[in-house]
């Protein structure tokens, strides 16, 4: 099967991006270079094409009740135009996927899910939906998503929206909230105050037919603010500096949100799949935990590298790692035996031991 292309694929080609397969899609890995795109996002603004992400609606009289059962967070805490970070859990408490839930109305929700999990997530929802009055629709292939990230994002987006004759006050759009509107120039649009970089900014959801108009419009307004395109590589270094989990690396069906330190998206004041397992771990502890670390000496942690104790016994494994552009040192996330947290441990880099330093997240703190 040939890889899919987003509606912005030709833009990436024309800009000279390094294109690589990512899941089912061909996506831009980088344009000018990872470090340049990383720092430009932190200091100015960048646009990421994240149209590979999945978009699913859940509608119906039982939409909230259904979602409350299959997700760990409490959907009843949402209100119109509010967003919630949550996860699907299986009956063993394992993370089927992490997701964002957008409340459109009391009976309609938009779920933004990971691209590699779209088919799995749809099957998961269908399996548990039979007893609920809900309709689940996957329209991922119809929607383009652009992440405009960085401290100058607000100025750029504000000017672009004004050029579309839209008077929207982005200063009133709080974090994890969104605006939904229709415009004759750019169609049906959702603008949310969300992102995966820790640099601030917005994510823009639009019909594929209007994506190139918005891309060009953002760059026409963004030139004076240092706007550049950025690829998946910089998105990964940015998210890792914040300690954000990546599905398939740091979280999967073999770990629980408690083990991944995601207790803030667990609400025990309701019933949900896997609750008994999760509740037990919160009450009695668990055998492994996701920890953040940096290296005491020069080196780069990589996924799959072992964490050792002082006697060279394997007590953990790296799930994500990189050389932090902002901190100029190796950083990573790893699951380790809880008995060794904050004790002397080492990263095994091809037979060479490099002592790790346990860190508190985020790695990168804004100045």
DSSP letter for each residue of 133-158? --EEEE-GGGEEEEEEESTTHHHHHH
- E strands present in 267-313: 288-295, 306-308
Among the candidates 187, 217, 241, a domain finishes at 241
CA–CA separation, 356 and 295 (whole Å): 5
* Same-domain check for residues 147 and 228: yes
* Same-domain check for residues 294 and 213: no
Which pLDDT value is given to residue 26?
97
CA–CA separation, 289 and 197 (whole Å): 23
Point out the residues of the chain with pLDDT beneath 70: 1
Burial class from Cβ neighbours inside 10 Å (0-12, 13-18, 19+) for residue 230 reads buried
* Same-domain check for residues 292 and 232: no
Are 215 and 8 in contact, with CB atoms under 8 Å apart? yes
Cis peptide before 191 (omega within 30 of 0): no
The CATH number that applies at residue 184 is 3.30.1360.120
CA–CA separation, 249 and 303 (whole Å): 8
pTM for this one? 0.97
CA–CA separation, 324 and 35 (whole Å): 9
Please state the φ and ψ torsions of residue 338, each to the nearest 5 degrees. -60, -20
Q: Which residue range is the domain that position 231 belongs to? A: 4-52+141-241
* Same-domain check for residues 223 and 352: no
Q: How many domains does the chain have?
A: 2
Give just the sign of the alpha carbon dihedral 127, 128, 132, 134.
Answer: negative
Q: Assess if residue 276 is contained within a domain.
A: no
Which pLDDT value is given to residue 367?
72
Q: Assess if residue 202 is contained within a domain.
A: yes
Q: Assess if residue 307 is contained within a domain.
A: yes
- Convert the pLDDT of each residue in 81-116 to its tens digit: 999 999 999 999 999 999 999 999 999 999 999 999
């Amino acid at each position: 099967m040939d890889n899919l292309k987003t509606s912005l694929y030709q833009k990436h080609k024309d800009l000279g991006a390094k294109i690589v397969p990512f899941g089912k899609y061909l996506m831009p890995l980088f344009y000018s270079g990872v470090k340049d795109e990383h720092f430009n996002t932190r200091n100015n603004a960048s646009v990421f094409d994240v149209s590979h992400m999945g978009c699913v609606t859940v509608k119906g009289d039982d939409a909230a009740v259904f979602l409350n059962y299959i997700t760990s967070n409490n959907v009843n805490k949402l209100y119109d135009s509010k967003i919630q970070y949550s996860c699907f859990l299986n009956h063993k408490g394992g993370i089927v996927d992490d997701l964002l839930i957008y409340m459109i109305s009391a009976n309609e929700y938009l779920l933004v899910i990971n691209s590699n999990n779209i088919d799995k997530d749809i099957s998961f929802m269908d399996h548990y939906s039979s007893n609920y009055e809900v309709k689940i629709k996957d329209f991922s292939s119809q929607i383009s998503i652009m992440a405009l990230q960085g401290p100058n994002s607000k100025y750029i987006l504000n000017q672009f929206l004004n050029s579309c004759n839209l008077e929207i006050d982005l200063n009133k759009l709080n974090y994890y909230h969104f605006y939904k509107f229709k415009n004759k120039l750019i169609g049906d649009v959702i603008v949310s105050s969300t992102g995966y970089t820790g640099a601030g900014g917005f994510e823009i959801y639009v019909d594929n037919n209007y994506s190139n108009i918005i891309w060009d419009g953002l760059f026409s307004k963004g030139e004076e603010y240092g706007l550049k395109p950025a690829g998946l590589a910089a998105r990964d270094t940015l998210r890792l500096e914040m300690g954000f989990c990546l599905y398939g690396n740091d979280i999967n069906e073999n770990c629980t949100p408690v083990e991944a330190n995601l207790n803030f998206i667990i609400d025990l004041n309701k019933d949900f799949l896997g609750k008994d397992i999760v509740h037990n771990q919160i009450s009695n502890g668990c055998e492994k935990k996701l920890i953040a670390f940096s290296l005491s000496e020069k080196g780069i942690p990589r996924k799959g590298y072992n964490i050792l104790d002082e006697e060279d016994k394997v007590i953990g494994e790296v799930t994500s790692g990189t050389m932090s552009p902002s901190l100029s040192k190796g950083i990573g996330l790893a699951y380790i035996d809880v008995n060794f947290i904050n004790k002397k441990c080492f990263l095994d880099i091809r037979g060479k031991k490099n002592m790790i330093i346990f860190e508190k997240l985020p790695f990168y703190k804004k100045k």
